[in-house]
Amino acid sequence: MRKFDFMGIEKKIAAAVASIIENESGQVIPADRIVLQKTRKDFEGDLTLVVFPFVKMLRRSPEHCADMIGKALAEKIEEVAAHNVVKGFLNLSLEKYVWLDFLWKNANNERFGLQNPAADDDLKPVVVEFSSPNTNKPLHLGHIRNNLLGFSVARILEAAGNKVVSVNLVNDRGIHICKSMLAWMKFGQGETPQSAGKKGDKLVGDYYVKFESALRKQVASIMEEKGVSEDEARKSAPLMMEAQNLLRRWEERDPEVVKVWETMNAWVYEGFDQTYERMGISFDKIYYESDTYLLGRDIVLDGLKKEKLLKKEDGSVWADLAEHKLDEKLLLRADGTSVYMTQDIGTARLRYEDFCPERMIYVVGNEQNYHFDVLKKVLIKLEEPYADAIHHLSYGMVELPDGRMKSREGTVVDADDLMSDMFETARKTTEELGKTADFNESEKKDLYHKIAMGALKYFMLKVDPKKNMLFNPDESIDFNGNTGPFIQYTYARIASILRKAGEDRLKLSELKLDASRMNAKEIALLKNLSGFGAVVAEAAAACSPAQIANYVYELCKEFNQFYHEYSVLNEPDRAVSDYRLQLAKLTSTTIKNSMALLGIDVPEKM
RNA sequence: GGCUCCGUAGCUUAAUUGAAUAGAGCAUCUGACUACGGAUCAGAAGGUUCCAGGUUUGAGUCCUGGCGGAGUCACCA
């Protein structure tokens, strides 16, 4: 069903169809009404033309139209070998040599399906922001989805010919950061990651939890003593006042506070770095909110001066978005301080000045849909030149079987723990299968890591980003069926064949094969391979790694069927054997390249 | 309550701007190892695509109205 464009044949046929219909009916049809798709498996053919859109102008039955167009195409285009008609569908079979040519032209291209990085210095980049963690808590399952998505989308956009800059905007300041600082200052007794034997982000997270539980106790007793609501009790609780005081002191650059802040954040970064490295994630640039939180104020004040915004009696500044059917949105408080939106206005401008991007993609959960809607509209209102470049890549929540992760209920799935669990499962499964008898310790570790991350990444990326997804921690992620390890296994099996064949045989200078000897399975596989470039383009347009994942899964299934039915190296006819070897090679390249777009490594043996 | 998104086999999911008999995996059952690697392959069973209307030659997809779920509607970030 997927569209595929193979050496321009699709275009050639579409153009021919247009001229045939014009000749017959005298009417010109728009190109987008010519629907060519991959022929479904249960029908004979390679490409299918849907003729329903033309039956009215041709004034004949769908079958007649299809037959007429089919005959004309067979005459006009030499690559069209045969055609058949089912209802209103015209199935075209291409000459087999078309597929052989395709294989021969691409077999040695290691970057098959990937566009080369644009050398053009004037090309405007796409900025992809993702991850954007808070420095008061360790990373969890939700962050994993965000990181994997962002990293993969960046790779896919590159493969589609874009220049890409990956950025991370770290939320390293604010009241929530002060909470963990305060708890550490009060209860920590100088504890450090070293003394506690913990990763820094975990230690800081523990103090955040300590703050919350101490606060809850205070709130409970205040509510009992004064009979006030929980909200009110929270606001008046001494710990809350202290935290706010700490934030004030931080903003005033109180040296003592800044020192604690720097120390604790450094611990967190050390922890994050380990987690990122394990995940295989990196960035071109890291922004810190402590540097950017004051940005945006000037833009807002300027907008006020130009009367694009309005000031209320108390001095607060608002954007009226009634023209976009949205409410008024606060941009500056009465005391002149900023809100989150103000800061995002500032960082958008900063990013624009830093990179002059063609597009700015924000990988952020769908809980912030409204926020980004408003951000874009405020920027339009302010007539910022980059307003239209803003693109929110909104993804669904990761849910547990009993609903959302809740830190209060201790149901948060920690990123490090999850990766360790996956590693353990990979180790156990692999050892049970007895696959690593001849591996040394570091090779084993490397392999288990690849499999573990392959399973986890594929699991999370194969689902359409915009959909919520379910993660059941009790059922560990599968290694069979539609999974990362299945694809890795397919790759490893081909790698084994290629090793056995040897480099000399792989470097073939000539392919001597009569195309008539190609079988249906091989052609199905070649057809699949030929669609890779188009899939990359579609995945880039949709910012959807899931499309790559689904593609490479299909490809592996196709190859495994071929592999089961036919032999590559044991095939007695050398010409056929050589040809199948090239087919296997191009398949392995395509698997490797696809998986790289998902941020997944493939092992040569497993 | 307003707005936004989602609802497909028991479970997890696929289906380019509308297109043929809704496609997979897991789980269940049955087969295939004297092997280019069985983490594989073949087969069986499993569906009123939440419901009701509508548009269309054609609807899982578009429109309207319900039902169910999630998110959001902060001088939080």
Is A495 inside a domain boundary?
A: yes
Q: How confident is the model at residue A118 (pLDDT cuts 50, 70, 90)?
A: low
Side-chain-side CA neighbours of residue A230 (13 Å): 4
User: Same domain for A153 and A202?
Assistant: yes
Q: Decide if pLDDT at A1 tops 50.
A: no
A403 touches strand B (CB under 7 A): yes
Query: Bridge-partner residues for A128, per DSSP?
Result: A166, A361
- Output the distance from A469 CA to B64 C1' rounded to whole Å: 30
Q: How many CB atoms lie within 10 A of CB A573?
A: 11
Q: Is A307 helix (H, G, I), strand (E, B) or coil?
A: coil
- Output the distance from A21 CA to B49 C1' rounded to whole Å: 36
User: Same domain for A361 and A495?
Assistant: no
Q: Decide if pLDDT at A4 tops 60.
A: no
Q: pLDDT digit string (tens) for A349-399?
A: 999 999 999 999 999 999 999 999 999 999 999 999 999 999 999 999 998
**Residue A562 and residue A541: Cα distance in Å, rounded?**
31
Question: Which two tokens mark A484?
Answer: 């990362």
Is A108 inside a domain boundary?
A: no
Q: Is A24 helix (H, G, I), strand (E, B) or coil?
A: helix
Which residues make Cβ contacts (< 8 Å) with residue A56, sequence separation at least 6?
Answer: none
User: Same domain for A544 and A501?
Assistant: yes
A340 touches strand B (CB under 7 A): yes
Residue A161 near residue A123, CB atoms below 8 Å: no
A91 touches strand B (CB under 7 A): yes
Q: Which of A94, A114, A145 delimits the end of a domain?
A: A94
R_g of chain A, CA atoms, integer Å? 30
**Chain B bases closer than 7 A to any CB of the protein:** 4-6, 11-17, 19-21, 24-27, 36-42, 57-58, 70-77
Question: Which two tokens mark A97?
Answer: 């040599």
Alpha-carbon distance values, A116 to A158, A160, A474, A593 (Å): 8, 8, 43, 13
Residue nearest to nucleotide B75 (CA to C1'): A333
Total structural domains in chain A? 3
Q: pLDDT digit string (tens) for A286-300?
A: 999 999 999 999 999
Question: Which two tokens mark A513?
Answer: 């094969």
pLDDT at A336: 87
A520 touches strand B (CB under 7 A): no
Q: How confident is the model at residue A55 (pLDDT cuts 50, 70, 90)?
A: confident
User: Same domain for A389 and A255?
Assistant: yes
Residues 342-361 of A with CB under 7 A from strand B: none
Residue A149 near residue A461, CB atoms below 8 Å: yes
Residues 535-594 of A with CB under 7 A from strand B: 538, 546-547, 550, 553, 556-557, 560-561, 563-564, 566-570
CATH number of the domain enclosing A139: 3.40.50.620
pLDDT at A3: 43
Q: pLDDT digit string (tens) for A169-202?
A: 999 999 999 999 999 999 999 999 999 999 999 9
The domain of A53 spans: 9-94
Is A405 inside a domain boundary?
A: no
Matching residue, tokens 């247009």: A18
Q: pLDDT digit string (tens) for A228-284?
A: 888 888 888 999 999 999 999 999 999 999 999 999 999 999 999 999 999 999 999
- Output the distance from A591 CA to B34 C1' rounded to whole Å: 32
pLDDT at A6: 56
A136 touches strand B (CB under 7 A): no
**A536: phi then psi, degrees, rounded to nearest 5:** -60, -45
User: Same domain for A391 and A435?
Assistant: no
Q: How confident is the model at residue A5 (pLDDT cuts 50, 70, 90)?
A: low
Q: Is A142 helix (H, G, I), strand (E, B) or coil?
A: helix
Residue A449 near residue A488, CB atoms below 8 Å: no
Q: How confident is the model at residue A583 (pLDDT cuts 50, 70, 90)?
A: very high
- Output the distance from A160 CA to B53 C1' rounded to whole Å: 44
Q: Which of A376, A395, A414 delimits the end of a domain?
A: A395
A397 touches strand B (CB under 7 A): yes
Is A3 inside a domain boundary?
A: no
Q: Is A39 helix (H, G, I), strand (E, B) or coil?
A: coil
Q: How confident is the model at residue A2 (pLDDT cuts 50, 70, 90)?
A: very low
User: Same domain for A130 and A42?
Assistant: no
Residues 189-248 of A with CB under 7 A from strand B: none
- Output the distance from A261 CA to B16 C1' rounded to whole Å: 50
- Output the distance from A89 CA to B51 C1' rounded to whole Å: 33
Is A80 inside a domain boundary?
A: yes
DSSP-derived letter for residue A499 is H
Is A4 inside a domain boundary?
A: no
Q: Which of A395, A413, A434 delimits the end of a domain?
A: A395
- Output the distance from A478 CA to B46 C1' rounded to whole Å: 21
A61 touches strand B (CB under 7 A): no
User: Same domain for A90 and A132?
Assistant: no
CATH number of the domain enclosing A73: 3.30.1360.70
* Average pLDDT of the residues in A471-484: 87
**Residue A594 and residue A592: Cα distance in Å, rounded?**
6
* Average pLDDT of the residues in A61-77: 91
pLDDT at A378: 94
Across all strands, nucleotide nearest A480 (CA–C1'): B39
Q: Decide if pLDDT at A325 tops 80.
A: no
**Residue A177 and residue A188: Cα distance in Å, rounded?**
15
A31 touches strand B (CB under 7 A): no
Which residues make Cβ contacts (< 8 Å) with residue A215, sequence separation at least 6?
Answer: A234, A237, A239, A240
pLDDT at A10: 84
Average pLDDT, chain A: 91
* Average pLDDT of the residues in A517-529: 92
pLDDT at A7: 55
User: Same domain for A504 and A367?
Assistant: no
Alpha helices by DSSP H, listed for A160-254, are 175-187, 193-196, 200-226, 230-236, 238-251
**Residue A161 and residue A334: Cα distance in Å, rounded?**
47
Residue nearest to nucleotide B42 (CA to C1'): A561
**Residue A159 and residue A540: Cα distance in Å, rounded?**
8
**Residue A185 and residue A202: Cα distance in Å, rounded?**
16
- Output the distance from A397 CA to B70 C1' rounded to whole Å: 9
What interface predicted TM-score (ipTM) does this complex get?
0.95
**Residue A128 and residue A130: Cα distance in Å, rounded?**
6
Q: pLDDT digit string (tens) for A313-322?
A: 899 999 998 8
- Output the distance from A396 CA to B66 C1' rounded to whole Å: 26
Across all strands, nucleotide nearest A365 (CA–C1'): B71
Q: How many CB atoms lie within 10 A of CB A598?
A: 25
User: Same domain for A220 and A356?
Assistant: yes
User: Same domain for A202 and A276?
Assistant: yes
Is A358 inside a domain boundary?
A: yes
DSSP-derived letter for residue A338 is B
Burial of A448 (0-12, 13-18, 19+ CB in 10 A): buried
Residue A405 near residue A398, CB atoms below 8 Å: yes
User: Same domain for A224 and A131?
Assistant: yes
Q: How confident is the model at residue A487 (pLDDT cuts 50, 70, 90)?
A: very high
pLDDT at A500: 94
Is A412 inside a domain boundary?
A: no
pLDDT at A147: 96
User: Same domain for A176 and A269?
Assistant: yes
**Residue A65 and residue A85: Cα distance in Å, rounded?**
10
- Output the distance from A545 CA to B1 C1' rounded to whole Å: 37
